[in-house]
A and B are shown apart, each in its own frame.
Chain A
Amino acid sequence: MNHPTKAAEFLSDGANAKWHDETLWFVRDKRDSSSKTVPEWEELRDLASRIKDNVLDYLDTYLLEFEKNAKANNFHVHWAKNADEHNQIVLGILKKHQCKAIVKSKSILTEECHLNPFLEKHGIEVVDTDLGERIVQFLNQPPSHIVMPAIHLKKMAISDIFHEKLQTEKGNDDPYYLTQAARNHLREKFLAAKVAITGVNFGVAETGEFVVCTNEGNADMGVHLADVHIASMGIEKIIPKRGHLGVFLRLLARSATGQSITNYNSHFRSPSAGKEMHLILVDNGRTEQLAREKFRNSLKCIRCGACMNTCPIYRRSGGFSYGSTVPGPIGSILSPGLDLQKHSSLPFASTLCGSCSDVCPVKINIHEQLYEWRQEITKAQAANAKSISMKIANGIFAVPFAYKISAGMMRGALKFLPDSITYSGLNTWGKQRDLPELPKETFKQWYKKNRS
């Protein structure tokens, strides 16, 4: 199913769509206020972008340096070409430890690899411990936002599922009450787990350490109580020096939620005595994206979600309309690289307003890449109804004579065009839009009268 169809489903509940739009804008607004308290904000974005430029230029060198140091720190380092290999490595570690249940903190990469269904198929219970992720897991849904996984749900829906799964009072939708119920439920899981899985926000080549950021403390509750910690890390998450964390930690939380920093920023350097740490370095399409020069910058992403919160399309279509692990503007430039056929409608899910690029903390030219993907997709794809009407428009604007004539014709048409044609299924543009009020004369006629 493509983005417009699923967006239409989302919009069919007008009140919910409006709430979603306003809630995300509220988060975007907090990001603005927070970033304005840092006078060097723009300089920090520029620095972060340039550090990532350097990382992508020397990615092989940094990965080797990281591996060497991580091994010296007593980490087991694994490499995975793709999702399947990643999942097999995780399963292998679990089998070795005869582990049948794990706790997992938020990791977009494990979502990307579809680790949960894979492990469940092999008889392993996976408990997502981020509150939002636990909620969507109870509902058998994927996260709809990378920072706020349950942002599409109203609290009564959460109350209902908690009543069913955690035996909370029916109809009690108080967020504090529901959070405490989840706290007690997950406490038991944390205390019982032998293996904990986390993602990685930053891997530092210079020291071989990695950093995980949360507000709930769920990643730490998991790994410090378990015997084995498995960390899954995309190869692009590397940064050269520890000092660079200063730049990225100043940007990440402010961009994501407007906080000055996440409350827990854990630096894992070596395992505690008697415990085991595994680090899985995952490619899964990243080297291919690196080879696509026009789209290489998308690998700078630090997964803050700011582009989603600001995007007029994301806010009004919801995370599920994208049908990809990472939704929103950044997802729309990452996902076509993974499966062009499946995600071909995503680069069109944008007004190209450029707000995503304006808020991106690492200055990815997101809207320009969306435009580039459109060129690639149009080349690759047979013409559909929208592209035909776009081609007609292209033909008209390319030939001045044709424009002159058709402008007059359009004025005639606008006057008499019945809604049944304008809003027919053939004209995608007509959806959710009204025709403009008709000026009395064409611009050429006006110019002739007033300026010549």
Chain B
Amino acid sequence: MVQKKQIMSSRDYILSKIRNTPRNKRPLPEIPDFKVDGELMDRFKRSLLMNKGGIVDAKQLEEFIDSHQFKKVLSLSEEFRSFANMDIPSDAHQLADLDMAIISGQFGVAENAAIWLEERDMGLRALPFITEHLVIVLEKDQLVSNMHEAYERIGKGASGFGLFIAGPSKTADIEQSLVIGAHGAKSMRVILM
């Protein structure tokens, strides 16, 4: 019996080409338990400075805000609500002239100063990018040593958007000269509580 020839979808075409290729059956390797030597806090601070981020305390932050007379400051961190003068809007476009956002990070990674944020920490996904200055509040005991531990900690979490943020927006596209403040935040300060 002659079968009616159907046009194969691109999906099936690609999958069939893969299946028709003889391949091995090499297993996935186990990832060993890599640990970072030394004190996590010290390592985290050093990594952050390398990424052009900074560490401040509440007083320094207050001075920074006062000296710049920022018009729009937003805080999603309860501790710093008094620093804020606006609430999160419904549309990210209304954040276009935001001077500063203060948010809480879930945990930090000592080897590279990456801080994990999920949708609920940002309110709007655009917030940590569109703000002129970013402040992340992090609890001192919320540090892991490296990225393997970081993903173990995230586990099966299913936030619609997750972000490892490690410093301010930067570029070196003009003659390899480092410039801070390409499209995103021009500074990132971390407050360790």
Contact = CB atoms under 8 A, between A and B. Distances in A.
Interface of A: 23, 26-27, 38, 40, 43, 46-47, 50-51, 53-54, 56-60, 63-64, 67, 79-81, 85, 129-132, 135, 148-151, 153-155, 158, 175-176, 178-180, 182-183, 186-187, 190-191, 207, 209, 215-218, 220-221, 224-225, 235, 240-247, 249-250, 257, 259-272, 281, 283, 287-288, 290-291
B92 A224 contact: yes
Given A148-B173, A187-B183, A57 B148 contact: no
30 contacts: A23-B175, A51-B28, A58-B23, A79-B14, A129-B183, A131-B171, A132-B173, A135-B174, A153-B175, A155-B174, A183-B182, A209-B162, A216-B171, A217-B182, A220-B184, A224-B126, A225-B93, A235-B14, A242-B151, A245-B151, A246-B31, A246-B147, A259-B50, A260-B166, A261-B166, A265-B163, A269-B162, A272-B119, A287-B17, A291-B21
Contact of B26 (A43, A50, A63, A182): A50
Given A183-B181, A261-B147, A272-B161, 16 more contacts: A60-B15, A64-B15, A132-B173, A175-B174, A183-B183, A207-B158, A215-B170, A221-B184, A240-B28, A243-B31, A246-B148, A260-B50, A261-B164, A263-B169, A265-B114, A269-B162
Nearest to A67: B11
Contacts of A243: 31, 148, 151-152
Contact of B161 (A67, A241, A250, A268): A268
A131 B173 contact: yes
Contacts, number: 235
Contacts of A179: 171, 174, 179, 181-182
Q: Is the interface of B mostly helix, strand, loop or mixed?
A: loop
Interface in B83-110: 92-93, 96
Interface string B137-156: 00000000011101110100
B179 A175 contact: yes
A60 B185 CA distance: 40
A190 to B, nearest CB: 7
A216 B174 contact: no
A218 B182 contact: yes
A151 to B, nearest CB: 8
A263 B147 contact: no
A57 B125 contact: no
A440 to B, nearest CB: 48
A269 B158 contact: yes
